[in-house]
Amino acid sequence: MKRIGTSLIGVMMFLLFASYAGAYDLVLMHGLTNKHQWSSSFLDKCLQKFGSGNVYAVYTNESNRVWERWINGRKLICIGENDFSAGDDSVAVQASLMRTKTQILQQSYGLSTKFKIIAHSMGGLVSRRYIYNNPNTVAGLVSLGTPHKGSQLAYAGSWVSFFIGAEAAVENLKPSWVQGTFNVQYPPPGPMADSGKIYTIGGDGDGWDCWGWGGELQVGWDILTTVYWTDSDGAVPQGYDTISGTTFIKRFWSYDHMELVTQSAVADEALKWATP
């Protein structure tokens, strides 16, 4: 009987450890207008780490369509439309859409009650607002090139023209709003689950090899260099991609703003800090 009891305790401890080890799924949040999209190699790294069916891509548009994408035999679960209608609204609206979509995923598609987030660009601001709107839900956030202090490009008409239809989003990228309103109301890290932290990763661009989706990073790099006299990743000035209350991890000197979501080396680094 003693041997059976010991075995049962061992099984229970194993199951408890297994449930704890797999407690967190991963949610991916895109940036402004979703023009810089996750590459297959980046997504593959996430699926390798968290497992098939445990990674969720949220697209902040009105659609709540849930669909699957398979990468090297592993399932990525997506909600919303993966097009340029995502990420074009204000931080508040996008955070509300994120809440609706994560609730759908939790109710019907297996998303854990507490999860980790990897967010690109404006998606980091949306995630920070989400953390305040949904206390004790996010157990960790890794932001990639997020303008935690805004970006002066939001003032530049020649850059804003790349994002016609996203006026509300661009307005929320202005340093005056991010620093004077958003960061005052929602200082990091916020009410995170399980003593979670926010980690930041930055990039760097050079005018001759910094392009992006349609030349916006070339324009952005030129403006930030010649008008504001600051180095950048083509979209976010250096030093504006981190903030007090977060932990800066690394700057990828060879990767621009868009490459932060396409290069598998960035995924490897982010996943060190966003573990299942």
Convert the pLDDT of each residue in 97-109 to its tens digit.
999 999 999 999 9
What are the structural domain ranges in the chain?
24-148+189-206+240-273
Residues 24-148+189-206+240-273: name the CATH superfamily: Alpha/Beta hydrolase fold, catalytic domain (3.40.50.1820)
Inform me whether the pLDDT recorded for 239 exceeds 80.
yes
**pTM reported for the whole predicted model:** 0.91
Can you list the positions of beta strands (E) in the chain?
A: 25-29, 55-58, 66-71, 74-79, 115-120, 138-144, 198-203, 247-252
Confidence band of 21 (pLDDT split at 50, 70, 90): very low
Tell me what pLDDT residue 22 has: 52
Does the N-terminal peptide bond of residue 189 adopt cis geometry, omega within 30 degrees of 0?
yes
Spatial separation of the C-alpha atoms in residues 230 and 87, rounded to whole Å:
26
Q: How far is CA 264 from CA 2, 42, 44, 100, 267, in A?
A: 50, 5, 8, 30, 5
- By CB atoms closer than 10 A (0-12, 13-18, 19+), residue 77 is buried
